[in-house]
Amino acid sequence: MNTTSTDLAIDAQGLTKRFGDTQALAGIDLSARRGTVLGVLGPNGAGKTTAVRILATLLRPDSGTARIHGFDVQKQATQVRQNIGLTGQYASVDEDLTGMENLILIGQLLNLRTSAARTRANELLSWFDLTAAAGRPAKTYSGGMRRRLDLAASLVGRPSVIFLDEPTTGLDPSKREEMWDVVRSLVDDGSTVLLTTQYLDEAEALADDISVIDHGRVIASGTPDELKRVVGGQTLLVRPTDLDNVPQVTEILARIAGEQPASTRTGVLQVGVKDDAAMHTLVTELALARISVTELSLRLPSLDEVFFALTGKPTGSADITEGDAA
């Protein structure tokens, strides 16, 4: 076995799974170092949930191996289950039971005495701001409260590896931020998190490493920055203060980049450049020409663009990421 396997909290290799005619997973590798967040990014039907279900021992792969802290998900399922917490659209709490009853039940199933399970339930309910709702059936909870209860349920056993399958799908923006904070604090605490998402901004905000999957294959993986570089150039963006300077700036940009800049908004010019030095050159040229600017930036491509470049199709999540531009 390889020497790095002990550093990996999640280590999956060559997982395949077929459902009838659908090849849900066509041989994917996923790994996450201890104490990091692995973002698994992909559109609906890419195989994200299937991968999580296999890693969480809910489903057997047709081939391939997966280990959680070195424990094989098929041969050592019990040890794996002692180490994981699962929150997803599918792993759910019982709607008829109250928040408190749900958490106590899970504590009992994790071999806690009823009194200890109650203590743990109280801890989690207060941490997730659910104490006031503890005595109400889960079906009366709002969407955000349900997600928090689901997450609390997966943390009862103090798992070291936490699977979050689309934890913020359907939540409004402020609730998403709250969920993000929770994820960050889990990682601060030393847990490893595997997060699946359709939202590029979410992966970018939370993940140390991202695996982009599509049609059951990992089509790219790396840090968010590495992924962005995969698509190549960066973009130089300039907005001259005086609109009269636009033709001159256009000429300067064309000279630096070797291609004609585009104008997406009136008075804003942008052009793709290959290296960071372009920024230097531009600043110098602008200074020499005595042109003042109100906006000047060098930015990496967005993950939307990364995804488009990788799969040749849009992600369908543009409506979500638009919030950033507004």
Partner 1 sequence: MTTIIEKSGKPTATTPRSTSVAADQVRFPTLHHIFALTKRGLLKTMRTPEALIDVTIQPIIFLLLFTYLFGGAMMGSTADYLQFLLPGIYVQSILFSAVAIGVNLNQDVTKGVTDRFRSLPISRSAPLIGAVTSDVLRYLVLSASLLITGFIMGFRVETSIWAMFGAVALAIGFSLCLCWVSVFVGMLARSPGAVQGILFLAIFPLTFGSNVFVQTDTMPGWLQAFVKVNPATSLADATRGLLSGGPVASPLLYCLLWMAGLLAVFFPLAVRAYRRRV
**Pairing mode, strands 217-222 and 234-240:** unpaired
Identify which of residues 72 and 94 has a Cβ nearer to partner 1 in the complex: 94
Alpha-carbon torsion (182, 188, 191, 193), positive or negative: positive
Which residues inside 37-66 make contact with partner 1, applying CB under 8 A? 53, 56-58
Q: Which residues contact 305 (CB under 8 A, 6 or more apart)?
A: 231
**129 vs 275, beta carbon nearer partner 1:** 129
Interaction of residue 177 with partner 1, rule CB under 8 A: yes
Rounded to the nearest angstrom, the gap between the alpha carbon of residue 199 and the centroid of all alpha carbons in its chain is: 7
Residue 111, token pair as written in the block: 């071999």
Stretch that binds partner 1, among 14-22, 153-161, 227-235, 272-280 (CB under 8 A): 153-161
Q: Tell the smallest beta-carbon distance from residue 190 to partner 1 (Å).
A: 6
226 binds partner 1 (CB under 8 A): no
CB of 320 to partner 1, least distance (A): 21
Would you give the binding string for partner 1 spanning residues 86-105, x where CB under 8 A is met?
x-xxxxxxxxxx---x---x
Q: What tokens were used for 225?
A: 């920055």
Write the burial class of residue 78 (CB in 10 Å: 0-12 exposed, 13-18 middle, 19+ buried): exposed
Q: Cα separation of 101 and 93, whole Å?
A: 10
Instruction: For residues 326 and 323, give the distance between their C-alpha atoms in angstroms, rounded to a whole number.
Output: 5
Enter the tokens of residue 173: 């923006």
Least spacing, CB of residue 268 vs partner 1, in Å? 35
Size of the residue set binding partner 1 (CB under 8 A):
59
Q: Does 167 bind partner 1 (CB under 8 A)?
A: no
Q: Which residues have a Cβ under 8 Å from the Cβ of 79 and sit 6 or more positions away?
A: 71
* 122 membership: H or E segment, kind and range: helix 114-127
Instruction: State the binding string over 186-205 for partner 1 (x if CB under 8 A, else -).
Output: x-xxxx--------------
Q: Tell me how far, at minimum, the Cβ of 84 lies from partner 1, in Å.
A: 6
Cross-strand partners of 269: 238
219 binds partner 1 (CB under 8 A): no
Rule CB under 8 A: which residues touch partner 1? 53, 56-58, 78-79, 81-82, 84-86, 88-97, 101, 105-106, 108-113, 115-116, 120, 123-124, 126-129, 137, 148, 153-155, 157-160, 174, 177-178, 181-182, 185-186, 188-191
